[in-house]
Amino acid sequence: MSGPAADAPLPDPDILIPRLADLVARMEARVPYAAALVTDERGERVRVSTTEEHVAPVAPARGAVFTVHTGRTLVEAAVDDLGPEALAAAAEQAVARALELGLEPDARPVDPGPAMTARFATREDTPYDGVPLADKVARARALRDAAGGADARVVNAFGTVGHTRSFEVFVNRTKRLVQDLRRTQAAVGVTCSEGGRQAALLDGRARRAGWEVAELPDDLVARLVADCTRIVGAPRLEPGHYDCVFSPEFAGIFAHEAFGHGTEADMFVKDRSRGRDYLGQPVASPIVNMFDAPDRTGETGGYFFDHEGQIATTTQIIEKGILVRAITDLNAARALGLPRTANGRRESFARKAYTRMSNTYFGPGDADLDEMLASIRHGYYLERPSNGMEDPKGWGIQLEGHMASEILDGRLTGRVFSPVIVTGYVPELLQSITLVGREVEITGLGMCGKGYKEWVKVTDGGPHLRLKARLA
């Protein structure tokens, strides 16, 4: 499938919207519901390491997808050509497929939503595209040099800056929506070596913003290097059940894996999640609240509307320990009779929409870190998460991290263990939470796949959490 050149002009919505609206109207003369989505994705990555410098565009992709609802199911056709003839042919193809499957005109109609014409754009204090390439390379070099020169045990370091731009147009019977999403990130990574053993860590920041967020604080780089040198050669801890404190980053991966995937309602439709049976039931400690918020200002996993035209709003998933709501896409919401949420997302115009998380996090509580540490006789402070997995059907979970710092008699001893693995049953872990911190922190370097594919940008986070977990 071909794509536009990285510097090709963006689609003109003043031309595109009337064209799409006309096609949608023609489609709906023959089918119960139709919609059109156009996306244009492009970006840039700059990476400077100890051994090389690399600048490359993110592979540009532009195209349209037409969606038809037959009254029973969704039918789609995609095209990577935005010319009027190609668009008309794709619209006709979607209708033809729907008619071949058969319509159910008496089925409950798809609600197209209230009439709305709006154009949304990410605010950039300093537009990334206006920054000279030499300045971007210099920023990446500075990150590399700061990390590489911080400790003699650093054998490799790299700095990266990058930016993606997603320009999207959605049209159905009532909506004419445009969003221009700009995401900028900066990251730094190090590999440390000592005594024939090595360890590597990565950290950084990503936001929906411009060049102004492509600089990392000095203390972030210093802490990254210090932590990497601490885990080189660190022993494994003795497996067992321990009182723990999760850092905000570790709380984030816990939120993402525990009741992010587990409340994606397309998994309910496929009978692949136990969450469906527990809606309205307590699943966590009464002090636990959890949210998915695509409308959270500036967070890189967010957007103004999803790929099915649903305006972004916050969904509370857990309220005072009770599983109150799932996140949905159009198909899952209709199939289950659940409210729509703005979580219908695609990897690209050529891929299906699924229920996907955006910015998923634990809400704040009223405790502080010193209080949590003081309450633990022997346990561990977990930080620097690396990976996670969940079985929504069985509610098992596994979280992996680089650092477990020992807590003894309410204080950090300075002993570090690495790596660390958390395993358990999701409700047991959530119900064991006894303290929740005041300050929510959200990180945004990650991507999320669905079944090891269908990648979309997400963030996760939370405050510090005190809980009991099985560690290895």
In three state form, how does the secondary structure of 251-302 look? HHHHHHHHHCHHHEHHHHHCCCCHHHHHCCCECCCCCCCEEECCCCCCECCC
Residue range 166-173: mean pLDDT, rounded = 98
Say if CB 392 and CB 272 are below 8 A apart.
yes
Radius of gyration (Cα) for the chain, nearest Å? 24
Summarize pLDDT for 286-304 with one digit per residue, the tens: 999 999 999 999 999 999 9
Q: Please give the tally of structural domains in the chain.
A: 2
> Given strand 441-443, what is the order of strands in its sheet?
322-323, 315-319, 290-292, 359-362, 459-462, 441-443
Q: Give the separation between CA 358 and CA 307, rounded to whole angstroms.
A: 12
Share of the chain above pLDDT 90, in %: 90
Q: Give the separation between CA 348 and CA 367, rounded to whole angstroms.
A: 41
Domain-located, residue 3: no
Domain-located, residue 2: no
Domain boundary residue, one of 231, 254, 272: 231
Domain-located, residue 7: no
The H helix count followed by the E strand count for the chain is 9, 24
> Could you tell me where the DSSP H helices lie in 155-247?
218-231
Max CA pair span of the chain: 73
Domain-located, residue 6: no
Same domain, 148 and 245: no
Give 389's contacts (C-beta < 8 A, 6+ positions apart).
Answer: 257, 397, 398
Give 360's contacts (C-beta < 8 A, 6+ positions apart).
Answer: 252, 255, 256, 260, 290, 291, 292, 293, 301, 317, 458, 459, 460
Domain-located, residue 263: yes
Q: Provide the CATH number for the domain around residue 109.
A: 3.30.2290.10
CB burial of 395-415 (b: ≥16 within 10 Å; e: otherwise) equals bebebbbbbbbbbeeeeeeee
Residue 160 pairs in a beta bridge with 47, 187
pLDDT confidence band for 275 (50 / 70 / 90) = confident
What's the confidence (pLDDT) of residue 108?
A: 87
Same domain, 211 and 305: no
Domain boundary residue, one of 231, 256, 274: 231
What's the confidence (pLDDT) of residue 6?
A: 65
Give 415's contacts (C-beta < 8 A, 6+ positions apart).
Answer: 405, 406
Question: Of the segments 4-8, 31-35, 255-259, which one has the largest average pLDDT value?
Answer: 31-35
Residue range 366-377: mean pLDDT, rounded = 98
DSSP string, 117-174: EEEEE---SS-GGGS-HHHHHHHHHHHHHHHHTS-TTEEEEEEEEEEEEEEEEEE-SS
Same domain, 142 and 248: no
Same domain, 443 and 337: yes
Q: Give the separation between CA 202 and CA 195, rounded to whole angstroms.
A: 21
Same domain, 23 and 157: yes
Percentages of the chain per state (helix, strand, coil), in multiples of 5: 25, 40, 35
Q: State the residue range of the domain holding 459.
A: 240-471
Same domain, 213 and 260: no
Domain-located, residue 5: no
Summarize pLDDT for 57-111 with one digit per residue, the tens: 999 999 999 999 999 999 999 999 999 999 999 999 999 999 999 999 778 899 9
Structure tokens at 392: 């929504």
What's the confidence (pLDDT) of residue 393?
A: 82
Structure tokens at 218: 């000095």
What's the confidence (pLDDT) of residue 8?
A: 83
pLDDT confidence band for 3 (50 / 70 / 90) = low
What's the confidence (pLDDT) of residue 261?
A: 79
Q: Give the separation between CA 44 and CA 162, rounded to whole angstroms.
A: 5
452 versus 448: which is more confidently predicted?
Answer: 448
Same domain, 227 and 253: no
Report which secondary-structure segment, H or E, holds 99: helix 84-101
Q: Give phi and psi for 338, each to the nearest 5.
A: -100, 160
What's the confidence (pLDDT) of residue 110?
A: 94
Same domain, 91 and 182: yes
Same domain, 183 and 312: no
Domain boundary residue, one of 204, 231, 258: 231
Q: What is the mean pLDDT of the chain?
A: 95
Does the pLDDT value for residue 416 go beyond 80? yes
Does the pLDDT value for residue 396 go beyond 80? yes
Residue range 320-338: mean pLDDT, rounded = 95
What's the confidence (pLDDT) of residue 107?
A: 86
Residue range 229-240: mean pLDDT, rounded = 97
Domain-located, residue 426: yes
What's the confidence (pLDDT) of residue 56?
A: 96
Same domain, 185 and 308: no
Same domain, 317 and 342: yes
Say if CB 163 and CB 187 are below 8 A apart.
no
Same domain, 271 and 222: no
pLDDT confidence band for 273 (50 / 70 / 90) = confident
Q: Give the separation between CA 103 and CA 118, rounded to whole angstroms.
A: 32
Domain-located, residue 1: no
